[in-house]
Amino acid sequence: MTAALHAFPSAEWVAAYEAAINSSEDYRSASTDWTHGSVALVMPAQPGIGVPEDVGIWLDLERGVCRAAKLVARQDAQQAAFVLTAEYRYWKQIIKKELGPIAGIMQRKVALQGSLPIVVRFIKSAEALVDAATRVPTRFLDEGAGA
Percent over 70 (pLDDT), the chain: 95
* 33 located within any domain: yes
Query: Strand 55-62 relative to strand 65-73: parallel, antiparallel, unpaired?
Result: antiparallel
Is 69 contained in some domain?
Answer: yes
Task: Answer whether residue 67 is part of any domain.
Answer: yes
| Buried b or exposed e, range 113-134, using 16+ CB within 10 angstroms | ebeeeebeebeebbbbbbebbe
**Structural domain contains residue 23:** yes
The structural domain count of the chain equals: 1
Question: Is 146 among the domain residues?
Answer: no
Give the count of beta carbons closer than 10 Å to the beta carbon of residue 45. 13
Phi, psi values for residue 135, rounded to 5°:
-85, -5
- For residue 127, what are the domain limits? 7-134
How much of the chain, in percent, has pLDDT values that exceed 90?
Answer: 88
Q: Is residue 147 part of a domain?
A: no
Q: Annotate 57-88 with b (16+ C-beta within 10 A) or e (fewer).
A: bbbebeebebeebebbebeebeebebbbbbeb
What single letter denotes the amino acid at residue 22?
A: N
Q: Using one digit for the tens of pLDDT, what is the confidence trace for 54-111?
A: 999 999 999 999 999 999 999 999 999 999 999 999 999 999 999 998 899 999 999 9
Q: Give the tens place of pLDDT for each residue, 71-82.
A: 999 999 999 999
CATH of the domain at 72: 3.30.1050.10
- pLDDT range class, residue 145, cuts 50, 70, 90: very low
